[in-house]
């Protein structure tokens, strides 16, 4: 164990490893999860979807980082990025003295200060393959908590690169997962283009159709491709992948737009050899999105989506809730300022602001869900706070 340099599974820690994520579950909420039901409390009813909260990838990442803290007490423990996008868990790690590595202008880890004996935990999102090479060269112990669902996407991207396909990645360019995934194409000698939304997908389709030139697209989105990248629409092959937490409908729409452009420009047969796609939304993300749609079909007075403001999967849950009924995306109980004011993130502007009159005296039926990186204990704190607004202690 002392000499082990690359730990990829909790079991590799050896005897007596712990499932630390269970510390952040609470029995009242766990019972609800089993029934997909309703919790009546303080004259209010809280309605939960069939799926919410921690996914298996987050469970694993939490277990691995807290086990690292327990096993290597006294060692310097670093994280490559936020372990997950949740302020509560990140706060707990800070309390334990976990440090963060910095990134340089190319978004690669700055490893100069590391020395043998240090422990570096790779977050659930994974990291650039060059970071892993640099960490290995430093002789540190790497604890890799990258989610298996993301590693499956990497395999797909590696396959594209090996077969001469440019990876077209639907994802947020500044998200750790997107950066880690596209680096797998570079590792195999390939390249990539990142597309953030349907509008950008349509512009790439214009390039394939010869209505916009390749250089103009790359000039407009300089961060969409690696430096010095160029391509020829008449000869290139493209394979699609997506960040695991995107909206499935949006990813599928982009796929169809690009496939349609290849068909129109080069014909059906050529398209079969030149365009590939694969739905890489993870099952846990999909389950949470589907379950929320079902929950929103119920007769509710308002809905709360709980999770980090920078959490991709939570912000997509918020987009699903938008316009259906009064809803608020909050990070935790501290965002509930009073019965008159709540601090919530508006998905239309991508920013948090204080909103008024969110909780009226007639509010009774509240839908509540949480993103894949939100512990149940946060939901419990929120529910208790709301109940205290109705009947102050
Ligand atoms: S949301 Fe999906 S891909 Fe992300 S950590 Fe969870 S299981 Fe893994």
Ligand 1 pocket member 143 (CB < 6 A):
no
> What is this structure's pTM?
0.91
CA nearest to 7, candidates 55, 65, 59, 49: 65
Closest CA to ligand 1's atom 7:
57
Give the Cα separation of 366 and 286 in Å (integer): 22
Same fold, 56-146 and 149-276: no
The class that CATH gives domain 56-146 is: alpha beta
CA 55 to ligand 1 centroid distance, Å = 6
Active centre residues (catalytic):
177
Give the model's pLDDT for residue 281: 82
Give the Cα separation of 360 and 364 in Å (integer): 9
Q: b vs e for 138-149, b when ≥16 Cβ sit within 10 Å of the residue's Cβ?
A: bebbbbbbbbeb
Q: How confident is the model over 84-107, as pLDDT tens digits?
A: 888 899 999 999 999 999 999 999
CA 127 to ligand 1 centroid distance, Å = 14
Ligand 1 pocket member 333 (CB < 6 A):
no
Torsion of CA 239, 243, 246, 251, to 10 degrees: 0
CA 242 to ligand 1 centroid distance, Å = 13
Q: Which atom of ligand 1 is nearest to the CA of 283?
A: 2
Percent of the chain with pLDDT over 70: 98
Pocket test for ligand 1, best of 84, 244, 311 (most atoms within 8 A of CB): 244
User: Which CATH architecture describes the domain 27-53+284-390?
Assistant: 3-Layer(aba) Sandwich (3.40)
Spans of all domains in the chain = 27-53+284-390, 56-146, 149-276
Q: How confident is the model over 52-82, as pLDDT tens digits?
A: 999 999 999 999 999 999 999 999 999 999 9
For domain 149-276, say whether CATH 3.40.1010.20 is its number.
yes
Ligand 1 pocket member 313 (CB < 6 A):
yes
CA 65 to ligand 1 centroid distance, Å = 16
Q: How confident is the model over 108-148, as pLDDT tens digits?
A: 999 999 999 999 999 999 999 999 999 999 999 999 999 99
Q: Is residue 1 predicted with pLDDT exceeding 80?
A: no
Q: How confident is the model over 334-377, as pLDDT tens digits?
A: 999 999 999 999 999 999 999 999 999 999 999 999 999 999 99
Q: Is residue 232 predicted with pLDDT exceeding 90?
A: yes
């Amino acid at each position: 164990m002392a000499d082990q340099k690359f730990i990829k599974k909790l079991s590799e820690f050896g005897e007596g490893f712990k499932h630390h994520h269970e510390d952040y579950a609470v029995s009242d909420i766990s019972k609800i999860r089993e029934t997909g039901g309703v919790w009546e409390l303080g004259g209010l009813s809280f309605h939960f979807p069939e799926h919410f909260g921690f996914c298996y990838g987050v469970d694993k990442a939490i277990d691995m980082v807290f086990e690292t803290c327990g096993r290597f007490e006294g060692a310097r423990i670093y994280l490559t990025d936020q372990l997950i996008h949740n302020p509560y868990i990140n706060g707990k790690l800070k309390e334990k003295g976990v440090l963060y590595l910095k990134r340089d202008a190319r978004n690669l880890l700055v490893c100069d200060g590391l020395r043998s004996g240090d422990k570096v935990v790779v977050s659930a999102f994974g990291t650039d393959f060059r970071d892993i090479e640099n960490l290995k060269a430093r002789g540190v112990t790497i604890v890799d908590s990258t989610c298996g669902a993301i590693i499956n996407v990497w395999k797909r991207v590696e396959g594209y690169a090996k077969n001469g396909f440019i990876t077209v990645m639907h994802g947020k360019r500044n998200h750790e997962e997107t950066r880690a995934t596209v680096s797998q194409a570079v590792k195999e000698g390939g390249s990539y283009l990142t597309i953030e939304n349907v509008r950008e997908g349509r512009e790439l389709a214009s390039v394939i159709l010869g209505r916009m030139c390749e250089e103009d697209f790359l000039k407009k989105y300089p961060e969409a491709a690696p430096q010095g990248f160029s391509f020829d629409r008449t000869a290139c092959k493209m394979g699609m992948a997506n960040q695991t937490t995107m909206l499935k409908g949006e990813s599928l729409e982009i796929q169809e737009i690009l496939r349609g452009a290849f068909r129109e420009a080069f014909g059906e047969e050529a398209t079969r050899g030149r365009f590939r796609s694969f739905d890489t939304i993870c099952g846990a993300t999909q389950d949470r999105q589907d379950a929320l749609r079902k929950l929103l079909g119920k007769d509710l007075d308002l809905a709360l989506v709980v999770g980090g403001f920078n959490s991709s999967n939570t912000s997509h849950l918020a987009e699903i809730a938008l316009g259906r009924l009064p809803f608020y995306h909050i990070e935790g109980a501290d965002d509930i300022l009073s019965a008159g004011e709540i601090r919530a993130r508006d998905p239309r502007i991508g920013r948090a602001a204080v909103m008024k009159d969110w909780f009226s005296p007639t509010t009774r039926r509240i839908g509540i869900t949480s993103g894949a990186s939100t512990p149940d204990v946060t939901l419990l704190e929120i529910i208790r706070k709301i109940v205290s607004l109705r009947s102050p202690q």
